[in-house]
A and B are shown apart, each in its own frame.
Chain A
Amino acid sequence: DTGVSQDPRHKITKRGQNVTFRCDPISEHNRLYWYRQTLGQGPEFLTYFQNEAQLEKSRLLSDRFSAERPKGSFSTLEIQRTEQGDSAMYLCASSFEGSYGYTFGSGTRLTVV
């Protein structure tokens, strides 16, 4: 286990299509976070899980966005009916409960055309 893995690294999709991203956290970490980052900006919090429970969702996470972590291990982030404004880097991170020294993955870069 060498870190947080995200798949795919890049995704180009047409407006209106659905996309799904996967994150595999560090196996011992029970917290998993999703952030979104646009060019020149810092990461923005979307949501986080402790084990399989989704504990908080940002107002940024519209109804078109859904995240799951069904077995408390890997997580998926789905965006339905993508819009051009969804184009961004989607970052996943994991940590132990009570620790904020997140380990980030390399992200999935989404381009909506």
Chain B
Amino acid sequence: AQTVTQSQPEMSVQEAETVTLSCTYDTSESDYYLFWYKQPPSRQMILVIRQEAYKQQNATENRFSVNFQKAAKSFSLKISDSQLGDAAMYFCAFVYGGSQGNLIFGKGTKLSVKP
């Protein structure tokens, strides 16, 4: 069975600073994908960034980047130049390539951004 663990229930960052959210996962699969989704108070889950397990290069999307350590089964999210609009619940998620696309989510990290 696959599991996703987010060990930080809450994090806080000063506007314009950098913050890193942690995620670890456990799987015996070799073909899988990892995601970070953002859920603001508006409730809609929004994809922040995606990483394919077979890619060694860490994914980057503007101010968002990941540190993917496959051997350690670690997938952290770094947010640079934090903005007030980044405040949300962040979920790390896993899906394996042979599945129906059912995402397995961690418990989430609530990020607050201080002005």
Is the A/B pair a real complex? no
Task: List the interface of chain A (C-beta within 8 A of B).
Answer: none
Task: List the interface of chain B (C-beta within 8 A of A).
Answer: none
